[in-house]
C-alpha cells in the first residue's frame, strides 16, 4: 500500500508543480494543497490495495482458468456441483433427513419445486449403471433411503441447457448425521472432474465450498476447502482438460471467513 501511495503522491506533486508554474498565485495555499495531496495519496493506496470480491487465475497448458467469486451458487449460469449423501436421500420433510436450508435443499426447491419423486426418478436414471455398495436395514435406518453408493459417485442430472453434478461426498449415518473426511472430499472432487470431462463439453463448472456446512470436512475451514478444490481441479486438468473455467462460489455470508488476498497468492503457486 505504501508504494502505491507514494506513486500517487509523486504524480500529484508533479501535477501541482505544473499548476503553480501556470498560476503562481496558487503557491500561497501550499499548506492546504500539501495536506490534500497526502490525504488523496493515502486514500488511493488504500483503495488500490483493498481486496477485490473476486479472483481470476489463468493457467496454460492446458488453457483454463479458476475464478473465486461471491454469489449464490444456484443463480450461476452453467454446470453446477451439488453435494449429496451416499444414499442420495431427498426427503425434506421436517428437515430431519435433508435440511431445506442446505444447498441440496435449496436446489430441490428451486429446480424441482420440492418434488422429491421427480428428483428421485432423475437420480435413478442417472445411477442406472452404478450398483450400490451396500444396503441398510430399515430397522437400523428408519428414515430415508437404504441403498448406499460409493463415496465419490456422481449422478449427472441434465436440466435444459445445464448439468447438475450430484456428488455423493458425505456419509449419512443411520442417526442421520452426515460426515465427510478429507480423503472422501478429495475422492469426490476427482470424480466430479471426471464426470465433467465426460458430460460437460468443457463448459464452465460452478462449485460451492462443498462440505463447509452440515458435513464438516475434518477440521478444515472454508479457505482450506477452497484451496483443496482448486488444487484438485488443477491436478486433474493437467492429466486431461476438465473445463475451460472453474468457478468457486462463496456465499456472501462466508466472505468474512475467507482471505481473498491469500487465495490469490495460492492460485499463483499452482
Scanning the structure block, which residue is given the C-alpha cell 430397522?
Answer: 139
Spell out the residues 6+ positions from residue 248 whose beta carbon is closer than 8 angstroms to its own. Answer: 66, 67, 68, 69, 207, 208, 209, 226, 229, 230
Cα(207)–Cα(107) distance, integer angstroms: 13
Q: Does residue 36 share a domain with residue 73?
A: no
Q: Does residue 107 share a domain with residue 34?
A: no
Q: Answer with the one of 49, 66, 83 that is the final residue of a domain.
A: 49
Higher pLDDT, residue 198 or 3: 198
Mean pLDDT over each residue of the chain, to the nearest integer: 86
Residue 211 CA, distance from chain mean position = 11
Could you list the residue range(s) of the whole structural domain that residue 164 is in? 55-269
CATH of the domain at 112: 3.40.220.10
Q: Does residue 78 share a domain with residue 171?
A: yes
Scanning the structure block, which residue is given the C-alpha cell 437400523?
Answer: 140
Q: Does residue 100 share a domain with residue 19?
A: no
pLDDT 10s digits, 10-31: 555 565 565 555 556 655 555 6
pLDDT 10s digits, 34-88: 556 456 545 554 444 444 568 999 999 999 999 999 999 999 999 999 999 999 9
Cα(193)–Cα(106) distance, integer angstroms: 23
Q: How many domains does the chain have?
A: 2
Asked whether 249 and 73 are in contact (CB, 8 A), the reply is: yes
Q: Does residue 75 share a domain with residue 29?
A: no
Q: Does residue 183 share a domain with residue 61?
A: yes
Greatest mean pLDDT among 115-119, 175-179, 221-225 = 115-119
Cα(231)–Cα(115) distance, integer angstroms: 36
Q: Does residue 124 share a domain with residue 103?
A: yes
Cα(146)–Cα(134) distance, integer angstroms: 8
Q: Does residue 131 share a domain with residue 36?
A: no
Q: Does residue 263 share a domain with residue 236?
A: yes
Q: Does residue 87 share a domain with residue 42?
A: no
Q: Does residue 45 share a domain with residue 161?
A: no
Amino acid at each position: 500500500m505504501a508504494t502505491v501511495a507514494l506513486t500517487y503522491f509523486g504524480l500529484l506533486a508533479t501535477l501541482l508543480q505544473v499548476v503553480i508554474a501556470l498560476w503562481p498565485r496558487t503557491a500561497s495555499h501550499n499548506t492546504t494543497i500539501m495536506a490534500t495531496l497526502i490525504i488523496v495519496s493515502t486514500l488511493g493506496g488504500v483503495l488500490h490495495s483493498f481486496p477485490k470480491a473476486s479472483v481470476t487465475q489463468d493457467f496454460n497448458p492446458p488453457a483454463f482458468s479458476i475464478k473465486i467469486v461471491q454469489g449464490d451458487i444456484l443463480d450461476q449460469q452453467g454446470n453446477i456441483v451439488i453435494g449429496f449423501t451416499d444414499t442420495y436421500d431427498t426427503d425434506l420433510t421436517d428437515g430431519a433427513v435433508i435440511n431445506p436450508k442446505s444447498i441440496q435443499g435449496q436446489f430441490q426447491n428451486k429446480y424441482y419445486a420440492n418434488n422429491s419423486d421427480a428428483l428421485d426418478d432423475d437420480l435413478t436414471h442417472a445411477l442406472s449403471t452404478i450398483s450400490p455398495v451396500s444396503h441398510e436395514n430399515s430397522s437400523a435406518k428408519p428414515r430415508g433411503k437404504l441403498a448406499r453408493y460409493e463415496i465419490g459417485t456422481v449422478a449427472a442430472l441434465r436440466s435444459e441447457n445445464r448439468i447438475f453434478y450430484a456428488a455423493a461426498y458425505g456419509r449419512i449415518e443411520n442417526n442421520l448425521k452426515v460426515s465427510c473426511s478429507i480423503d472422501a472430499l478429495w475422492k469426490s472432487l476427482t470424480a466430479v472432474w471426471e464426470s465433467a470431462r465426460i458430460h460437460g463439453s468443457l463448459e464452465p463448472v460452478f462449485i460451492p465450498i462443498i462440505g463447509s456446512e452440515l458435513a464438516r470436512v475434518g477440521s478444515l475451514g472454508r479457505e482450506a476447502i477452497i484451496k483443496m478444490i482448486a488444487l484438485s481441479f488443477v491436478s486433474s486438468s493437467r492429466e486431461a482438460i476438465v473445463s475451460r473455467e472453474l468457478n468457486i462460489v462463496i456465499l456472501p455470508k462466508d466472505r468474512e471467513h475467507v482471505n481473498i488476498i491469500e487465495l490469490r497468492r495460492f492460485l499463483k503457486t499452482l
